[in-house]
Amino acid sequence: MAKVPKKILNDPRNVVTEMLDGLALANDGRVERLDGKDILIRTDLPDSKVTLLIGGGSGHEPIFHGFVGQNMGDAAACGQVFAAPSPDTIMDAAMAAHRGKGILFLYGNYAGDNMNFDIAAELLEEEEGIDVRTVRVNDDVAAAPPERADDRRGIAGDIYAIKVAGGAAEECDTLDEVERIARKAVGNLRSMGVAVAAGSIPETGKLTFELADDEIEIGMGAHGEAGIAKQKIASADDVADQIMEKILDDMPLGKGDEIALMINNLGATTMMEMLIVNRRVRQILADRGTIVHRTDVGTFLTVQEMAGFSITVMKLDDELKHYLDLPARSVGLSNM
């Protein structure tokens, strides 16, 4: 934790507000900041719809606040860097985005997020009589064995979950239906990452962990939580094999199964590396006869300047495909 990471910022204590201003502006009018709060909300919200509220700690840009828009989140409640948003922020976001048909809370499964969103949900139900449902993304197969899947963290699978739930919230009439579809998406998601170098929190200026010059960590979480194993740096094919073995052990895929595949940049990794990994992943999937319906290689959930990537697989059926493929335009994701 020697060298302070070199970043081009203003006052590090203001990174979240300044970033949210910049993010709202980057959405070309489709999204705005709510009353100077740490909340982004669609400007084109229909009068009546099931509401999808997403959110979590900042520092993982473009998630969460980059995925607000049509067929994605209706609003995002944003916390400080690596810290869940407070119940106040969540409630304010929920109240502003609510359109009379109840709200689905969709976020990554972390103790801090769970507690803050739960507090907000309790208050919204008790004090405002709003129907709130919660779906937590727990796609990180490295975080816990299958029998404790509820303990798994949410990582890049969040994005596909948001995209599917966002589509459902746009088209479906009831909160029940949106919840069912979101739950199916999350149940079909598996991810795992590898870290090559650490990220840091602007306000502390400290790297969140340390890896030796020749070391990588397979299965590391989105805040530097420990993974499955620290090991010597290995080839792209080898790392892809390790990650895919673990994912496919957890969710076997066979001939004719269809999936969406995401290779996500944790921050500072080159797209060259990710594309080389994609090549290997596709060899593995082709050997099984698994069909890749859709691929997303890019930067979706980062951990500041962490180097490394994650692989996400979502098993598809016609319903999930339909919602995943609906058009979207936002800083985080655009679909044709």
Ligand X SMILES: Nc1ncnc2c1ncn2[C@@H]1O[C@H](COP(=O)(O)OP(=O)(O)O)[C@@H](O)[C@H]1O
Using CB under 6 A as the criterion, which residues of the chain lie in contact with ligand X when the complex forms?
Answer: 82-84, 111-112
Window 194-233: residues binding its own copies (CB under 8 A)? 194, 196-197, 202, 213-214, 216, 233
* Residue 124 beta carbon to ligand X: minimum distance, rounded to whole angstroms: 21
Q: How far apart are CA 227 and CA 192, in angstroms?
A: 9
Q: Is 65 noted as a catalytic residue in this protein?
A: no
- Restricted to residues 268-297, the positions that interact with its own copies (CB under 8 A) are 268-280, 282, 292-295, 297
Q: In angstroms, give the least distance from the CB of 10 to its own copies.
A: 5
The encoded tokens of residue 178 equal 């949106």
Residue 83 is a binding residue for Mg ion (CB under 5 A):
yes
Helix (H, G, I), strand (E, B) or coil at 201: strand
Instruction: Tell whether residue 132 is a contact of Mg ion (CB under 5 A).
Output: no
- What is the distance between the terminal CA atoms of the chain, rounded to a whole angstrom? 43
Give the chain's length. 336
Any contact of residue 95 with another protein (CB under 8 A)? no
Q: Where are the alpha helices (DSSP H) in the chain?
A: 15-26, 87-97, 111-128, 157-171, 175-187, 236-250, 271-288, 318-324
Coil, strand or helix at 208:
coil
Do β-strands 206-207 and 200-201 pair in parallel, antiparallel, or remain unpaired? Answer: antiparallel
Q: Is residue 223 annotated as part of the catalytic site, yes or no?
A: yes
DSSP symbols for 271-299: HHHHHHHHHHHHHHHHHHT-EEEEEEEE-
Residue 188 binds its own copies (CB under 8 A): no
Instruction: Determine which residue in the list 69, 108, 154, 224 makes contact with another protein, applying CB under 8 A.
Output: 224
* Contact between residue 65 and residue 18 where contact means Cβ atoms under 8 Å apart: no
**Using rule CB under 8 A, residue 308 touches another protein:** no
Q: Minimal distance in Å, beta carbon 120 to another protein?
A: 10
Q: Does residue 209 bind Mg ion (CB under 5 A)?
A: no
Q: How far is the CB of 59 from Mg ion (least distance, A)?
A: 9
* Closer residue to ligand X (CB): 151 or 245: 151
Name the DSSP letter for residue 302. Answer: -
Give the angle subtended at the CA of 332 by the CAs of 286 and 90, to the nearest 5°: 120
Written as one letter, the residue type at 274 is: M
Cβ distance to ligand X smaller for residue 5 or 112: 112
**Closest CA relative to residue 234, chosen from 254, 215, 207:** 215
Query: How far apart are CB 79 and another protein at their closest, in Å?
Result: 4
User: Which structure tokens are listed for 4?
Assistant: 């302070």
**Bridge partners for 259 per DSSP:** 292, 315
307 binds its own copies (CB under 8 A): yes
Count of chain residues binding another protein (CB under 8 A): 36
Site for another protein in 124-163 (CB under 8 A): 142-144, 151, 153
Is residue 329 within the footprint of its own copies (CB under 8 A)?
Answer: yes
Active site amino acids:
60, 223
Residues at the interface with another protein (CB under 8 A): 1, 57, 79-89, 110-112, 115-116, 119, 142-144, 151, 153, 201, 203-204, 206, 208-209, 221, 223-227
